[in-house]
Every structure is written in structure tokens, then in C-alpha cells.
Chain A
Amino acid sequence: MADLRLKGLRKSYGSAEVIRGVDIDIEDGEFVVFVGPSGCGKSTLLRMIAGLEDITSGTLEIGGKRVNDAQPKERGVAMVFQSYAIFPHMSVRENMAFGLTIAGASKAEKEQKVAEAARILQMEHLLDRRPSQLSGGQRQRVAIGRAITRNPSVFLFDEPLSNLDAALRMDMRMEIGKLHSQLDTTMIYVTHDQVEAMTLADKIVVLKDGEVMQIGSPMELYHNPANLFVAGFLGAPSMNFLQVDVLDVQGEEAKVSNPSLEPIVVKTAGRPIEAGHKATLGVRPQHLRVSETGQLHGNVTLAERLGSETVADLRLDDGSKLIAAFAEDKILDVGQRLSLDFDSDAAHLFPVDG
């Protein structure tokens, strides 16, 4: 059990800086997900917490103690790797007891802890198998089991589900969620998959190019993205961005339009929007509705029917593209002209540069 404080963490390889001053507070028992595109530094940050990478500057505290220079084993962390990293020559039982074997625990203690972890993960029947006899999901379970037996104060997951197929990924995602509520231990989870981030996290940290873009609960980030990057990163299909002209600004509201959008008033949310300038209007595909009186006009270029929803690609009158997702099975013809309506409260207005 421990809380973590990351203060101004930096990491550079020679002159290349990959983590550029990250500040994150993680409470005890919290499930935090680091999410971002590949190369954003999320794995590096996790490895810095684990002690597998040196910290160039800043401080890392686990449970109130500065651990910048502590060995991985002194940090009380357990890590689950994307490639499982289970030892191929050991049985599942030996793999799960590995940390205890290293610590010189008694046979009885090992038996008891392995049995406990196996019960939590529902894998008692696999204990005597070899890793080569296991499926990907089972292997990842072994890796998680190995982490559990050590009773760590922080669990670190480095893209644990990326090597699994889609169906299994969903199962394991739920398992990990359950595991967190069962163990109630601090967990840090790295992924590039926003669905994992949204479903698992108490708190999401969105990273880009080694910098924190936004920290908050999944819904906070979804409904109130702090910038264009977060807005575009979370949600599928991603948010539509329309280049608009700002016609007028009145306090916290701005009137915007473009050739395919009739003038509409949206909130500025305190962002520096100035009349007479360009701005970016963000509208989630799910917030668009077909309406006779809609403000957006364009033609359908592609319609994908998924049964539960219909995703339409549109070419707007000004030539830009738009994606709309209707929560119903809708028959749309290519070339069909549509007028779309959206709730101006659900739209986000950003300055052009983010």
C-alpha cells in the first residue's frame, strides 16, 4: 500500500529528452492509467517508477520515501510485462513463487501464497504446467500471479494486454479491473488503448512527447478535454475538428461559423478565443443528429452499418471531412445530402494551435 509522488521527473538519453518534467500525484489504492500514442514516453515513465530506467532529474516518492536511486527490489513494486516475461524452464507454480524463492521464503509460505494467488486468478488447474503449454491469456495470468504473490505496494502493468487477441483482451481487462477492486492496491497501467484506459482507470494521465497533456477521471477527460490532443485522443471514432471563423465573442461564449456551418454560439471554457481569428471547433461523432434544421451540411461518402450504430463519413460543403455516429441502424446512401444538428453545449472550442 503506497501513494506515489512524481515531481518534475525528467529523463534524457544524451541530448534527447524523452520525459520532460512530469508531475503526477497518485493516491494509495488508485488505479492510474498512462495513455498516449507510441513514443510518448509512457512506458519509459513506468520503467522509471519500476527502477529499470535511471531518473535524470526530479524526484520520485513511493510511500513518502524518495526512491530515485533505490534498486527495483527496494521499491516494493511488481511489474507485469507486455511479453509476459515468464521463465520458460519453470512450471507455473515455480514462476509464481519466483519472487518468494529469491527472497528465500519457506516452502509452506510459497505454497500458501501461490495457492492464494491461483485462487484469485482462477488458475489452480494450471499450476503444474509449463509456460509452453499455456495460451497467451494464461501466460499473462501467470505473470500477474507472480506479481500478486509478492504482495507489492504498487502494481505496474506495461501494456499487459497488447499481445492478446481482441476477445481475450476484453476478458483480461475485466479480470484486471476485478483484481484491483479485490486487492485494493495502487496500480499503474500503461496502454495505448483508450478503451482500456477509459474502463479501468480511476485517473487517466494522457501523455504526449514526454509531457503530461491532462490528468483526470475518464469522464472528466472525455467531457472536458483540456486541449485538442486529449480531445482527439479519447473517444472512438475520434472527435471531429472543424476550422471555424470566430465572428463574435461575448464573455464566455463565442459565435462561430464556416462555409458549411451556420453561425452557432458555443462556450469558450475560458480559452483564449478572439473575434476575427480562426478557431477549431470539436464535435464528437456521437453528438451529431440528422435534422431538417441542422447547422452542418454535407454529402455522405461512406456509411458503415454496425447494427448497434451507423458510422457515416461526410464531405462537408467546404470540402472538409466529418464523421458522424448515429446510435441506430440507419440506411444511408452514398451521395445523400444530410443536414446535421448538435448540442452546442457538447461542442468544444479550441484556439487553432491547441
Chain B
Amino acid sequence: MASSLKNPDRTGWAFALPGTVLILTFIVIPFFFAFALSMTNQRLISPNPTEYVGLKNYRDLLGLAVVTLEPERDDSGAVVIDDDGEIVYPRLRTITRSDDYPQYRGMREWFRWQSGEDARIVIASDVVFMKALVNTLLFVLVVAPVQGGLALVLALLINQRLRGINIFRTIYFMPVVVSIVVVSLLWRFIYDGSDGLLNNVLSWITFGAFQPVDWLGNTETALGAIMAMSIWQAVGFHMVIWLSGLQTISPTLYEAAAIEGASKWQTFRYVTWPGLRHTAVLVLIVITMQAFALFAQIDVMTSGGPLDSTQTVVFQAVERGYGKQDISGGSTISVILFVIVLTISLIQRYLTREK
């Protein structure tokens, strides 16, 4: 004991060593690996030597362009209309496979819209990745505010001295301690299209008027269903963070507000919310990062389907890196995700900074 007190430096390093080694091995080194691999054509198992390819992987993922297709015209120069009354356009491959446009080679249609007689088409090098990116952003945009807000409401509700309040705390926190894989499996039954719990309940409370929906098998509802379940699963965790923030607010401030005649809403607005400032920043950033990392639910419940409507960035990274054994492609997606999350976190920090 005495020697450790005399040699605080060495002892300190000794204590920090195991953690440092673990962090280096599993976080820092793989992080730089990902950067390096994303510049190569490395595959998981391949007889060919690894080659440096520069930014090709990034171009293959992020390549985007807008092309314009003019309608087909008959001999008189009039626009050709098909049997359904739609304008007929030449096929996209007249551009993407043409030697006149080498820059569009291999790109596919993502979506299109009509502009006058012409059709504007957004083509992407990797349409699936684009869909995954949009789905992930949508997921974050919905889950971050809804989950954060709901967690705050729950925290306010259970931050009261009532008999049996611990039962509610436990109930709200329970989904957090259950593995997300188990939760996802259970919710697959709940969302089941033919005999799922949700359909049964909805049909029961509407006296049979509700038509069963295949929640996870429908492009319209699949992502929403996963959002709802994800919000429910982790809301308890953020509730606990809010709760710890609530308990740092001095009770005297509430008493002062009560004496000054503040209503419940005014107390929240002038005392509680300003006191939760730092907690709010934390919760927002944590939820955002967790939401961007959406994977297990997708893997268990939909595998990205139906029709890529639940593809996400991390699911794509895993799918590509291990499913297709394209390690460099998976690494590239990881790096892109890292840049996105870092940027958003920095923006959030800037917007919520202390003025």
C-alpha cells in the first residue's frame, strides 16, 4: 500500500492497463483498420492479393446523378402515349449502358419524377445503400424525439413519492434488461399478419371492423412497426437518465416556485426543463447514436425487407462485409456512418451549447 502511494504514476498506469488494452484492441485499432480497409479491395477470403483502390469504394456507394429522359416520339414528332395514358420513355439502360456516358455506367434508377414532358431520374451507384441511408435517417428523426420525449414523460410520472412507485419503475425498465434479440422475436409474433397479438387486439376493440395487417410484410408499415417497437424497448433506459437529471434539481427551487405561485406547467418550464439541460444533451446524443446503429431488430425481424423498405446502414455494413464477404465495402459503410454520426453529434453539441 505504502509503495503504491509513493509511486502513484506507475500504480495508476497499472490499473489503467487492462482497460486501455481492451479499448485499443477492440475499438481504436479496428477503427483505423476500417479506414485503411475502405481504401482497398480486401475481401474476407480471397486468393487474390489486396490492392489499394483509393476512393473507389466511396464512389461505388455514394455515386448519385440526375439524368433526363425525353419521351419517345413518333414520326410526326408527337409524344407516344401507351394504353394506360402514360408517356412512353426510352429505357434507362440507353444511358447507363451507353458508351457515350461512361460516368453513368452501372448505375441504377433510385426514383424519378415528371418534369413537363421529360422524366427526371435519380440514379445511384448503389440504390440499396441509398435506401438504407434514407431509412436510417428517417428512423433517427422519428425515434430520437419520440423516445426522448416519452422517456421524459415517464420520468416525470415516476419521479413522485407514491406508494408502489417502484413497481412502475421496474415495469418501464424491464424491456431494457431483456436482450433486443429476444424482444425482436417476441414482437415478430405480436406483429404477425395472420394471428398476431396486435391484429387480434385491434380487431377486438373495433368489434371486428379492423382488417388484419401484415405489419412486417408490408412496405408501408414495416419501418414504422420497427420504430414503435424500438422506442418501446429502450424508453426505460432513457427514462432512468432523465430521472437522475430530475433528482439533481434542488427541491428548494420547486418550493420557491410554489411560493411564487407557479402552476405545474410554469414549474416545468422555468425550473425543471432548464435544470435538465445537460441531461437533455446527453439523452439526445445517446439516442441518436443508438438509432444510427439500428441492426438487431432488422436482422431478426425483416432482414431489410420487404423490398428493401427496412434496410439500414449498419445492416448493410454487416450484410456486405460478412454476407457478401466484401470487407472493404463493409468498412466503407462503417466509415461513412462514423462521419455522419460524428457530424450530427457535433451539430447537436453546438446547438445545445452553454450560451
Contact = CB atoms under 8 A, between A and B. Distances in A.
Contacts of B277: 89
A52 B260 CA distance: 12
B270 to A, nearest CB: 7
Interface in A82-139: 83, 85-90, 98-99, 101-103
A74 B202 CA distance: 48
A73 B250 contact: no
B274 interface: yes
A99 B252 CA distance: 15
A85 B250 contact: yes
Given A79-B256, A83-B250, A90-B274, 13 more contacts: A50-B255, A52-B255, A52-B259, A71-B261, A73-B260, A73-B262, A81-B252, A83-B252, A85-B253, A87-B270, A88-B274, A146-B256, A146-B260
B266 interface: yes
B271 interface: yes
Contact of A73 (B258, B270, B271): B258
B256 A81 contact: yes
Contacts of A281: none
Contacts of A87: 253, 256, 270-271, 274
Interface string B125-162: 00000000000000000000000000000000000000
Interface in A28-54: 50-52
Contacts of B255: 50, 52, 79, 81, 85
19 contacts: A50-B259, A51-B259, A52-B255, A52-B258, A72-B258, A73-B259, A73-B260, A77-B259, A79-B259, A83-B252, A85-B250, A85-B255, A85-B256, A89-B277, A99-B261, A102-B266, A102-B270, A103-B261, A146-B256
A89 B276 CA distance: 11
A81 B275 CA distance: 19
A14 to B, nearest CB: 14
A315 interface: no
Contact of A72 (B259, B266, B274): B259
Contacts of B250: 83, 85
Chain A contact patch, size range:
20 to 34
A86 B257 CA distance: 10
Contacts of A89: 274-275, 277
Contacts of A77: 259
B270 A98 contact: yes
Contacts of B275: 89
A106 to B, nearest CB: 17
Nearest to B249: A88
Interface in B255-308: 255-263, 266, 270-271, 274-275, 277
Nearest to B274: A89
A98 B260 contact: yes
A298 B80 CA distance: 127
A4 interface: no
B260 A99 contact: yes
A218 B30 CA distance: 77
Q: Ordered nearest first, which 10 A-B pairs have the shortest CB separation? A: A73-B261, A85-B256, A89-B274, A99-B260, A85-B252, A72-B259, A79-B259, A102-B262, A72-B258, A83-B252
Most-contacted residue by chain B among A71, A86, A88, A146 (CB, 10 A): A88
A73 B256 CA distance: 10
Contacts of A50: 255, 259
A141 interface: no
A2 to B, nearest CB: 15
Contacts of B262: 73, 102
Given A83-B252, A89-B274, A89-B277, A102 B261 contact: yes
Contacts of B261: 71-73, 99, 102-103
A240 B199 CA distance: 85
A143 to B, nearest CB: 8
A101 B261 CA distance: 10
Contacts of A279: none
A79 B253 CA distance: 12
